[in-house]
Amino acid sequence: MRSVLGSRPGYRERLETLVGFFVANRVAKQELLLGIPDDSGALVAAALVNLPRPPEEPAWLRRRREEVWAALGMEERARYEAFGRATQQFEVTPPHHHLGMIGVRHSHHGTGLGRVLLDHVHAVADADSQSAGVSLSTELEKNVGLYQYFGYCVAGHDRVSPDLETWVCFRPRATAPPPASG
């Protein structure tokens, strides 16, 4: 998101505005939002997932998008749209789930929460006969191997700008139930 939002002051507030819009988008379309709280109830891990056949976007959400970009800036919007064009060239065409965002608070890195979220997204996609699997994009090269470990293949890679690369990955839907353990 730093590449999209740039380095001008107020990054954290602008990031909250953009992520807030992403969440509102999923809520408005009744898509999948996953969260894991800690013992105090604070959210420590989350994922936003687009469904294979999302409903049409309501008019109020289109207006909100314009308000968000007006507040964030036209340069930021242009960078975001350039990122979108870079990833769309590798878009998986059959209907599928798309993991739009996944994150774990730094205080909880290495605790397996990312795996819990990924496993849940995979189980949802695998159980959905209308889904071909799960796609995602990552802008960190070190994450490519991690996603390959979880069954993803790189569908494409592009340099969006001098400071931003993206890899689009896809994990096909499992057609057979996983083997029983024990």
- pLDDT over 80 at 21, yes or no: yes
**Section 88-114 average pLDDT:** 93
pLDDT digits (tens, 9 = 90+) for 29-66: 999 999 999 999 999 999 999 999 888 889 999 999 99
Average pLDDT, the chain: 92
The answer to whether position 181 is within a domain reads no
Q: What percent of the chain has pLDDT over 90?
A: 79
pLDDT of residue 93: 84
In a domain, 177, yes or no: no
Is residue 179 over pLDDT 80?
no
Residue 182 within a domain:
no
Decide: residue 135, CB within 10 A, 0-12 exposed, 13-18 middle, 19+ buried.
buried
Domain range for 123 is 2-172
Please report whether residue 103 resides in a domain: yes
Higher pLDDT, 119 or 164: 119
| Within-domain flag for 47 | yes
pLDDT at 19: 93
179 found inside a domain? no
181 band by pLDDT with thresholds 50, 70 and 90: very low
Q: Report the C-alpha gap between 127 and 109 in whole angstroms.
A: 28
Which pLDDT does position 91 carry in this prediction?
82
pTM: 0.88
Q: Give the count of domains, the chain.
A: 1
State the CATH number of the domain containing residue 27. 3.40.630.30
Q: What is the pLDDT of residues 102-148, one digit of tens each?
A: 999 999 999 999 999 999 999 999 999 999 999 999 999 999 999 99
156 within a domain of the structure (yes/no): yes
Answer whether residue 89 is part of any domain. Answer: yes
Whether 158 shows a pLDDT value over 80: the answer reads: yes
Q: HEC profile for the chain?
A: CHHHHCCCCCHHHHHHHHHHHHHHHHHHCCCEEEEEECCCCCEEEEEEEECCCCCCCCHHHHHHHHHHHHHHCHHHHHHHHHHHHHHHCCCCCCCCEEEEEEEECHHHCCCCHHHHHHHHHHHHHHHCCCCCEEEEEECCHHHHHHHHHCCCEEEEEEEEECCEEEEEEEEECCCCCCCCCC
What pLDDT does 182 receive?
46
